[in-house]
C-alpha cells in the first residue's frame, strides 16, 4: 500500500476520529512502529500562532497522531520542531510557538518529550549526489529517530507554491542553517534534504488550509479533511491536487517524482476514502498574491513555468521595490516558461531555460533554476536601474531582520 493515500472527513469536532480513519485507510502504523522504535512526531509550527488558523498544524491533529503512535508501544516518542529562521522575514521562538499553538499542553497531557530542534545538538550531514546542498546541519534527534511521522498543514507558500510534508522537513535543519536552503535554491534543497531525512509516514492536517500570503482570517480555507500515507511524495501530490495547484509547477515535486521514477500527478496513486475532486478548492498561491502587489509588471507564464523561476522573481520584485525602483518597473514584462509568443514591450526580462527561445527580447537569466543574483540582475538591467543598490538594500534588510530576531530564533 506504499502509494495509497487515505482521505477522511472530520465529522463535527471529531478530529481524532478523522486522523484514525485516514491512517487506517492508508494501511496503518502496524509494522512501522515496534517496541524498539524511537519516534519523532514532526508538526509544522513555523511561528508562534494559535491552532486552527491553517498556517500551522492544529494541536488537535498532533495530539491524535501522538496518541496513535503511543498505542503501538514504541521505545520513545518526541514531538519536535524548529521554528522558521526567516530569509526575507524574521526568525521565531520555538518555545513560544509550542506554548501558543497548544503543542506544549499536548506533550504534557500525553507525557511525551517536547524538543526544540533549533537548539538541539546537530549532525553535519553529507548528502551524496546532491542537486545544490551537499552538506547540512540536521537536528540529532531527527537523525537518530527510527521513525519520523510528518504532520504538516495544507497551505500555500510564496516561494514554493505549496508547503506540505516534504517542505515541512526544513524544521529539522538546525536554527539559522535553514537559510542555506534559500541561498542555494529552495526547491532543490528540499529534495536534497529529503534524500537523507524524509518522513516515514505523513498525516496531513487539512482541517483548515491557508492560501496566499497567510493573512488571517481572510486567507483561511475550511476543508474538514485529514490525509495520510506512508509515501510522502504521494501525500503531497494529493494535497496539491486538493488545493487546485498543478504539481508540475512545483519544482521540488517534479524533482522528487523524477528521482522516484514517478510522474508528478495522481497517476499510480491509490486515493481511498473521500474523493479529492469532491473537496477540491482553488488556493491562491503566495506568488500569485505577491505578484498582485506589482500591477505595473506583466508576468507572462508558459505551461512549463515552475517555482524554480517564480521563487527568485519574488526576491527581485521585492527588493527592486524596497530600493525605490517601483516607478522604473512600470511597463516591465517578465517571461517565464515555454511561452509561444510574446507581445512587444519596451522592457522585457526573460527567466529560465524554458523561455530561452525568447532570450533575444531582453536580458536573460538562464538555467533551471536561475540564481537569485542573476534574476535580480536581469530585472535591473531591463528596468535600467542600479543592481548594486538593489543588492545592497537586500543584504542590509536581511541582516537587520536576522539580527533583530536572533535571540528569538535561539529560544
Q: Would you list the domain boundaries of the chain?
A: 4-279, 293-404
Backbone φ and ψ for 154, nearest 5 degrees, come out as -80, 105
Question: Quick one: which of 60, 65, 137 has its CA closest to 102?
Answer: 60
What is the C-alpha separation between 216 and 125, in angstroms, rounded? 37
Order of strands across the sheet that contains 298-301: 298-301, 332-336, 347-351, 364-365
Q: Report the first-to-last Cα separation within the chain, whole angstroms.
A: 40
Question: Quick one: which of 207, 258, 198 has its CA closest to 231?
Answer: 198
What is the C-alpha separation between 197 and 398, in angstroms, rounded? 28
What is the C-alpha separation between 75 and 27, in angstroms, rounded? 22
Cβ 43 vs Cβ 103: under 8 Å: yes
Question: Quick one: which of 298, 285, 321, 299 has its CA closest to 88?
Answer: 321
pLDDT value, residue 2: 81
Q: Which three cell numbers stand for residue 303?
A: 505551461
Q: Which three cell numbers stand for residue 183?
A: 541561498
Backbone φ and ψ for 107, nearest 5 degrees, come out as -60, -40
What is the C-alpha separation between 207 and 191, in angstroms, rounded? 26
What is the C-alpha separation between 387 and 377, in angstroms, rounded? 6
pLDDT value, residue 141: 98
Cβ 280 vs Cβ 253: under 8 Å: no
Task: Compute CA distances 382 → 340, 361, 376, whole Å.
Answer: 21, 10, 10
Q: Which three cell numbers stand for residue 39?
A: 519516534
SS3 249: helix
SS3 208: strand
Place of cell 509547477: 249
Q: Which three cell numbers stand for residue 242?
A: 486538493
Domain 4-279, what fold? Rossmann fold (3.40.50)
Cβ 236 vs Cβ 166: under 8 Å: yes
Place of cell 542573476: 374
Q: Which three cell numbers stand for residue 145?
A: 529517530
With b for 16 or more beta-carbon neighbours within 10 A and e for fewer, the 319-336 pattern comes to: bbbebebeebbeebbbbb
pLDDT value, residue 50: 96
Task: Compute CA distances 123 → 37, 41, 177, whole Å.
Answer: 20, 19, 12
Question: Quick one: which of 1, 16, 32, 269 has its CA closest to 148?
Answer: 32
Q: Tell me the pLDDT of the chain (411 aa) as tens digits.
A: 589 999 999 999 999 999 999 999 999 999 999 999 999 999 999 999 999 999 999 999 999 999 999 999 999 999 999 999 999 899 999 999 999 999 999 999 999 999 999 999 999 999 999 999 999 999 999 999 999 999 999 999 999 999 999 999 999 999 999 999 999 999 999 999 999 999 999 999 999 999 999 989 999 999 999 999 999 999 999 999 999 999 999 999 999 999 999 999 999 999 999 999 999 999 999 999 988 999 999 999 999 999 999 999 989 999 999 999 999 999 999 999 999 999 888 999 999 999 999 999 999 999 998 999 999 999 999 999 999 999 999 999 999 999 999 999 999
Amino acid at each position: 500500500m506504499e502509494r495509497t493515500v487515505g482521505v477522511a472527513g472530520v465529522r463535527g469536532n471529531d478530529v481524532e476520529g478523522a486522523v484514525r480513519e485516514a491512517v487506517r485507510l492508508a494501511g496503518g502504523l502496524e509494522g512501522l512502529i515496534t517496541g524498539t522504535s524511537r519516534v519523532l512526531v514532526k508538526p509544522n509550527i513555523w511561528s508562534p500562532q494559535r491552532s486552527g488558523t491553517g498556517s500551522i498544524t492544529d494541536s488537535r491533529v498532533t495530539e491524535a497522531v501522538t496518541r496513535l503512535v503511543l498505542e503501538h508501544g514504541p521505545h520513545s516518542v518526541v514531538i519536535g520542531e524548529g521554528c522558521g529562521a526567516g530569509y526575507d522575514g524574521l526568525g521565531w521562538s520555538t518555545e513560544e510557538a509550542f506554548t501558543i499553538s497548544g503543542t506544549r499542553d499536548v506533550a504534557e497531557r500525553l507525557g511525551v518529550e517536547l524538543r526544540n530542534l533549533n537548539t538541539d545538538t546537530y549532525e553535519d550531514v553529507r548528502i551524496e549526489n546532491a542537486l545544490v546542498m551537499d552538506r547540512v546541519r540536521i537536528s540529532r534527534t531527527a537523525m537518530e529517530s527510527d521513525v519520523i511521522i510528518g504532520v504538516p498543514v495544507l497551505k500555500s507558500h510564496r516561494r514554493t507554491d505549496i508547503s506540505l510534508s516534504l517542505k515541512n522537513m526544513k524544521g529539522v535543519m538546525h536554527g539559522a542553517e535553514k537559510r542555506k536552503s534559500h541561498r542555494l535554491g529552495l526547491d532543490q534543497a528540499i529534495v536534497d534534504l529529503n534524500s537523507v531525512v524524509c518522513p516515514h509516514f505523513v498525516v496531513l492536517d487539512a482541517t483548515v488550509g491557508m492560501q496566499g500570503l497567510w493573512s488571517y482570517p481572510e486567507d483561511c480555507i475550511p476543508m474538514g479533511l485529514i490525509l495520510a500515507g506512508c509515501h510522502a511524495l504521494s501525500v503531497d501530490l494529493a494535497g496539491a491536487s486538493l488545493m487546485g495547484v498543478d504539481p508540475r509547477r512545483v519544482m521540488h515535486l517534479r524533482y522528487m517524482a523524477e528521482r522516484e521514477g514517478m510522474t508528478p500527478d495522481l497517476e499510480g496513486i491509490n486515493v481511498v476514502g473521500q474523493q479529492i475532486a469532491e473537496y477540491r478548492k482553488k488556493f491562491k498561491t503566495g506568488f500569485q498574491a505577491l505578484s498582485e502587489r506589482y500591477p505595473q509588471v506583466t508576468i507572462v507564464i508558459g505551461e512549463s513555468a515552475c517555482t524554480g523561476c517564480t521563487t527568485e522573481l519574488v526576491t527581485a520584485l521585492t527588493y527592486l521595490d524596497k530600493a525605490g525602483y517601483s516607478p522604473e518597473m512600470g511597463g516591465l514584462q517578465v517571461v517565464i516558461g515555454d511561452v509561444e509568443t510574446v507581445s512587444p514591450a519596451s522592457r522585457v526580462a526573460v527567466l529560465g531555460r524554458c523561455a530561452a527561445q525568447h532570450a533575444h527580447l531582453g536580458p536573460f537569466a538562464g538555467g533551471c533554476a536561475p540564481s537569485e543574483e542573476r534574476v535580480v540582475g536581469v530585472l535591473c538591467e531591463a528596468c535600467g536601474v542600479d543592481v548594486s543598490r538593489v543588492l545592497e538594500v537586500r543584504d542590509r534588510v536581511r541582516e537587520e531582520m536576522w539580527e533583530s530576531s536572533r535571540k528569538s530564533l535561539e529560544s
